[in-house]
Amino acid sequence: MYKEERVKVYAITEKNHLALASLRFPAKDIEIWGLRVIDLEDCVQRFELVTYHAADKKNTELHLLIDGNKANNFSDRITAWIQNDSDTVFSLRQPVDVLYLFGPHFQDRFGIADTAFNALGQNGIDIFVSGCAGTSIYFVTPENRGRDGVTILTNTFLIPTTK
């Protein structure tokens, strides 16, 4: 573990015109939702980001970021599954942007999340959902804020370049 004066990352990029699906369901239903996620994966071919965590003692939250062009079919499938399920809450937020940071060995260096969250927060960029796995960090932002976020983070982190 080590600290850097200015944190290095490999790249910072963004994607636009995405949709964020958020589900809140009883934790006991996770196996059913695993089967449904298989079906949803077939629907969208690829998730941009998925995060999952406990919401309270009984319920969990699942957030799925997808191509906005596939949101209608995606949403229709979920709505059909839960139409008689009063324990599950589903919402779709569209369009949204996403920022990605890719970097070497994020888990071996201090202060990366602090640097990123505070840079975005101090510049008024709301973060709907964020996830970090491996060497990537993702921030889902309101529409049209992705480009601002890239500029802010590019000025905050050091991206080594070769000439």
Partner 1 sequence: MEYGQKIHIGGIKFSEELAQVTVGCKTTDDCTIHQLLHLLAERDINLTFLCHAGLSGNIESIFCIDRADLGKVQQILIRSSLPNEQVQIIPSIGTLTLFPHRNEMKLLGLVIGLFGKHGFPVHSFSTSISAIAFNTDYSLLDEITERLQDIFVLPENHAPFRQDFRVTQIQL
User: Between residue 60 and residue 119, which ones bind partner 1 under the rule CB under 8 A?
Assistant: 60-61, 63, 91, 93, 100, 102, 107-115, 117-118
Looking at 8, 17, 43, 50, which residue binds partner 1 (CB under 8 A)?
50
**C-alpha–C-alpha distance, residues 102 and 95, integer Å:** 23
Draw the binding track, 8-47, toward partner 1 (x: CB under 8 A; -: no contact): --------------x-------xxxxxxxxxxxxx---xx
Helix/strand/coil for 160: coil
Between 40 and 99, whose beta carbon lies closer to partner 1? Answer: 40
Query: Which two three-digit tokens encode residue 30?
Result: 């996770």
Contacts of 18 by beta carbon, 8 Å cutoff, 6+ apart? 48, 65, 66, 67, 68, 94, 95, 96, 97, 98, 140
Nearest distance from residue 18's CB to partner 1, in Å?
A: 14
Nearest distance from residue 104's CB to partner 1, in Å?
A: 13
128 in contact with partner 1 (CB under 8 A): yes
**C-alpha–C-alpha distance, residues 136 and 103, integer Å:** 7
